[in-house]
Structures are given as structure tokens and as C-alpha cells.
């Protein structure tokens, strides 16, 4: 049971990054279906960072924990921001259709990652992965089950939770958060009171994409211990993360709990003794069913404060004569 919970929580970080990135993007009124591709891009960027760092140090079997993490994170963020910038330029400045742009970006991100990963030197990945997945709390081993359950994960898991909490506070309590929500709800109203609508949209999309990219990096370097075979599982996590946004009702704080639930469902198949492919398949679509149920419930309740941002998916054209 403990191992199951541990796995669920570890797994949840991948969802949490993707979900958080999409929440921030959607709060600006942009539906970024490119998140799966951006998470793939995070794999490429992060692994490139790790690979460059490993080839730069004299002893690749004994890297510095912090520098290794920083290089990977930086690489992932840059890749995410780059892909996010493409999306933002197309949808905010050129006002292209958001859905089509996003889907194109997903295809592009996946292919781009496949090319980079095929050419990358992967010899030191397993060493790097052990460092990245190592708990930043060395004293955790002495704390029994508490340490096992709460303090045994890699630094990226804690970063995800911190980001989710901080994002929740910023959105709810600060001027910037209020302005961003206004942009996503009613850009005309925000524009009329002098908020720079396009600036906020660019900011939210770039930030959201960068955070989502970390999810891809985490998946390869922490969750599957550096064993990259194909972009497909990362892309699948990306789609689940988008479903999770709806499941958590666009709330970063709820995204922590939602991610753990999705993580549990994601790992459940490894823990079920009956190794039946049918049951595995059943479990893998439970998250989607859960999302549909949440959507239905919200729709039936018809409460205004749990709806998506009103202008989600619509590009903003300033009224002109």
C-alpha cells in the first residue's frame, strides 16, 4: 500500500506540471492543445541540458546534484518557452485558430523531440536519473513511514507542489492574478481599464508552457529513470493533463489532489495482481470517464464560479470602426 501511494504521488508530478501549465494558459483565455507537444519538447530540452552538462564535467559518474538539476530544468524551460512563443505569436498576434494551432504544435513537438532524442548521447542518462530522482532530504530515511511517504521523492516533485501552491495564491490574492483572470474572462473589460491584454496573454502562455515542459523532463528523468523509448507515453500524459484541468475546475490548489488521483489510476495497473490486458485497458480510460463525470456534474449544477474562463478559446479583437 505504501509503495502504491508513493508511486501515485511520484507519478502525479508529471500530471501536475502539465495541468498547472494549462491552467495558467487557460486563465488568459487561450486553450493550448499544444501542451502534449510542449511536454515532449520539455523532454528534448531537459535531456539536452543534462547531456551537455554530463559531457562538460570531468567525471560523469559523479555529477553535482544541484547543477545537474538546474541544467535539466533550464533546458526544459527554454524548450517549453520556445514552443509556447510559437503558439503565442500565432494565436495572440496573428489571431489564428487556437485549437488548430495547438494540435499542430503537438504534432510538431513530438516529431521535434523524436529527432533530438535519436541524435542525443544517452550513455549517462541512467546515472543522471538516479541523481535527479534522489530525495533532497537525506534525513528522510530515519523517519520511517513518514519519510517514505512524504520526503522520499526527487526535487522535481516538490517543485511541482510549490509551483501549484504559489500559482494558486498569485491567481487569487494579487493584482497580477486579478488582471490575468480579467483578461481570460472579458478581455474587452480588461482593455477598457488599461490592462495590457496581449502582454498578459503572452506572459501566461510562455509561463504555462515552461511549466508544462518541466512535466516532460520529470517523466523521462525521474519517473522512468532515464529510459526514453518513444515520445508517445509523454504525449499521453499531456492529454491526460488537459483533461485534468477540467477535472480540477481550473484551480491550481485542486490540481495537486487531482494529479495524485490521476497518478494513482495511472500506476494502478502495475499493482493489480490479475495481469489481464482488458483490465489494464479499462483502468487506463478511467481518468477520461472521471473527467466526463465532473464536466456533467458542473454543467448540471450550473454554478457560475466553476465554469471555464468565459472567453476561453476566443481570440480577442479590439473593437474598431
Partner 1 sequence: MDFALELKNITKTFGKTVANKDINLSVKKGEILSLLGENGSGKTTLMNMISGIYYPDEGQIFINGEAVSIASPQDAFKYGIGMIHQHFKLVDIFSAAENIVLGVNDGKRFNIKDVNSRVEEIASKYGFEIDAKKKVYDMSVSEKQTVEIIKVLYRGADILILDEPTAVLTPQEIKKLFNVLRKMREDGKSIIIITHKLNEVLEISDRVSILRKGEYIGTVNTSETSESELTEMMVGKKVELKITRTETNFDRPLLEVRNLEVKGDDGSKKVDDVNFYIRGGEMLGVAGVAGCGQKELCEAIAGLRKVEDGLIMHKGESIIGKPAKEIIDMGISMSFIPEDRLGMGLAPNFSITDNMMLKTFRESKETMLTEEDIAGKNAFQVAMLKTWTCIKNIARKPFVDRKSARVRAKALVEKLEVVTPSTETPIRRLSGGNVQKVLVGREIESNPNVIITAYPVRGLDINSSYVIYDMLNNEKAKGTGILFIGEDLDVMMALCDKIMVLCHGKNMGIVHASKTTKEELGLMMTGALDLSEARNKEYGKAKDSNLTEEQWIQHEEISAKEDRVDG
Rule CB under 8 A: say whether 170 interacts with partner 1: no
Rule CB under 8 A: say whether 284 interacts with partner 1: no
Interacting residues of 100 by C-beta distance below 8 A, sequence separation 6+: none
In angstroms, the CA 44 to CA 231 distance is 10
Q: Which of 284, 307, 313, 315 binds partner 1 (CB under 8 A)?
A: 307
* Of 18 and 309, CB closest to partner 1: 309
Rule CB under 8 A: say whether 179 interacts with partner 1: yes
Q: 63-71: long-range contacts at Cβ-Cβ below 8 A with a sequence spacing of 24 or more?
A: 63/127, 63/128, 63/131, 65/131, 65/134, 65/136, 68/128, 68/131, 68/132, 69/131, 69/132, 69/155, 69/156
Q: Which of 173, 199, 279, 314 binds partner 1 (CB under 8 A)?
A: 173
Q: Which of 62, 275, 277, 305 binds partner 1 (CB under 8 A)?
A: 305
Q: Which of 48, 182, 207, 213 binds partner 1 (CB under 8 A)?
A: 182
Shortest CB 19 distance to partner 1, Å? 21
* Of 174 and 297, CB closest to partner 1: 174
Shortest CB 302 distance to partner 1, Å? 11
Q: Would you state the cell numbers that stand for residue 9, as one nine-digit string?
A: 504521488
* Of 149 and 195, CB closest to partner 1: 195
* Of 29 and 154, CB closest to partner 1: 29
* Of 105 and 190, CB closest to partner 1: 190
Q: Which of 55, 97, 123, 174 binds partner 1 (CB under 8 A)?
A: 174
Q: Would you state the cell numbers that stand for residue 121, as one nine-digit string?
A: 548521447
Rule CB under 8 A: say whether 169 interacts with partner 1: no
* Of 276 and 310, CB closest to partner 1: 310
Q: Would you state the cell numbers that stand for residue 256, as one nine-digit string?
A: 495537486
Q: Are 236 and 7 in contact (CB under 8 A)?
A: no
Rule CB under 8 A: say whether 321 interacts with partner 1: yes
In angstroms, the CA 305 to CA 309 distance is 9
Rule CB under 8 A: say whether 188 interacts with partner 1: yes
Rule CB under 8 A: say whether 273 interacts with partner 1: no
Burial class (CB in 10 A: 0-12, 13-18, 19+), 151: middle
Q: Are 311 and 188 in contact (CB under 8 A)?
A: no
Which residue do the cell numbers 497518478 mark?
263
Rule CB under 8 A: say whether 254 interacts with partner 1: no
Question: Which letter, b or e, does each residue of 229-250 get, where b requires 16 or more Cβ atoms within 10 Å of its Cβ?
Answer: eebeebbebbbbbbbbbbbbbb
Rule CB under 8 A: say whether 148 interacts with partner 1: no
Burial class (CB in 10 A: 0-12, 13-18, 19+), 280: middle
Concatenating the DSSP letter of every residue in 70-134 gives HHHHHHHHHHHHHHHHHHHIIIIIS---HHHHHHHHHHHHHHHHHHHHHHS--TTHHHHHHHHTS
Rule CB under 8 A: say whether 299 interacts with partner 1: no
Rule CB under 8 A: say whether 166 interacts with partner 1: no
Rule CB under 8 A: say whether 144 interacts with partner 1: no
- The interface mask with partner 1, positions 192-231, x = CB under 8 A, is xxxx------------------------------------
Rule CB under 8 A: say whether 304 interacts with partner 1: yes
> Which residues contribute to the site for partner 1 (CB under 8 A)?
173-175, 178-179, 181-182, 185-186, 188-190, 192-195, 304-305, 307, 310, 321
Amino acid at each position: 500500500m505504501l509503495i502504491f501511494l508513493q508511486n501515485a504521488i511520484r507519478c502525479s508530478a508529471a500530471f501536475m506540471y502539465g495541468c498547472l501549465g494549462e491552467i495558467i494558459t487557460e486563465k488568459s483565455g487561450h486553450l493550448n492543445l499544444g501542451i502534449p507537444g510542449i511536454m515532449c519538447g520539455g523532454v528534448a530540452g531537459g535531456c539536452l541540458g543534462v547531456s551537455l552538462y554530463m559531457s562538460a564535467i570531468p567525471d560523469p559518474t559523479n555529477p553535482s546534484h544541484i547543477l545537474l538539476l538546474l541544467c535539466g530544468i533550464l533546458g526544459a524551460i527554454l524548450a517549453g518557452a520556445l514552443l509556447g512563443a510559437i503558439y503565442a505569436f500565432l494565436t495572440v498576434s496573428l489571431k489564428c485558430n487556437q485549437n488548430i494551432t495547438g494540435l499542430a504544435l503537438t504534432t510538431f513537438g513530438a516529431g521535434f523531440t523524436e529527432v533530438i532524442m535519436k541524435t542525443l548521447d544517452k550513455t549517462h542518462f541512467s546515472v543522471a536519473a538516479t541523481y535527479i530522482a534522489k530525495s533532497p532530504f537525506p534525513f528522510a530515511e530515519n523517519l520511517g513511514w513518514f519519510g517514505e511517504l512524504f520526503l522520499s521523492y526527487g526535487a522535481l516533485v516538490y517543485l511541482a507542489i510549490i509551483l501549484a501552491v504559489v500559482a494558486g495564491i498569485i491567481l487569487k490574492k494579487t493584482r497580477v492574478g486579478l488582471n490575468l483572470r480579467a483578461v481570460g474572462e472579458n478581455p474587452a473589460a480588461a482593455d477598457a481599464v488599461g490592462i495590457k491584454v496581449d502582454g498578459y496573454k503572452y506572459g501566461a502562455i510562455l509561463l504555462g508552457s515552461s511549466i508544462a515542459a518541466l512535466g516532460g523532463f520529470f517523466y523521462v528523468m525521474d519517473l522512468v529513470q532515464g529510459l526514453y523509448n518513444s515520445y508517445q507515453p509523454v504525449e499521453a500524459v499531456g492529454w491526460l493533463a488537459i483533461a485534468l484541468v477540467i477535472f480540477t475546475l481550473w484551480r491550481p490548489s485542486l490540481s495537486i489532489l487531482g494529479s495524485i488521483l490521476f497518478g494513482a489510476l495511472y500506476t494502478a495497473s502495475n499493482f493489480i495482481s490479475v495481469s489481464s490486458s482488458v483490465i489494464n485497458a479499462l483502468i487506463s480510460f478511467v481518468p477520461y470517464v472521471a473527467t466526463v463525470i465532473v464536466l456533467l456534474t458542473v454543467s448540471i449544477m450550473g454554478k457560475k464560479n466553476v465554469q471555464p474562463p468565459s472567453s476561453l478559446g476566443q481570440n480577442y479583437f479590439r473593437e474598431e470602426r
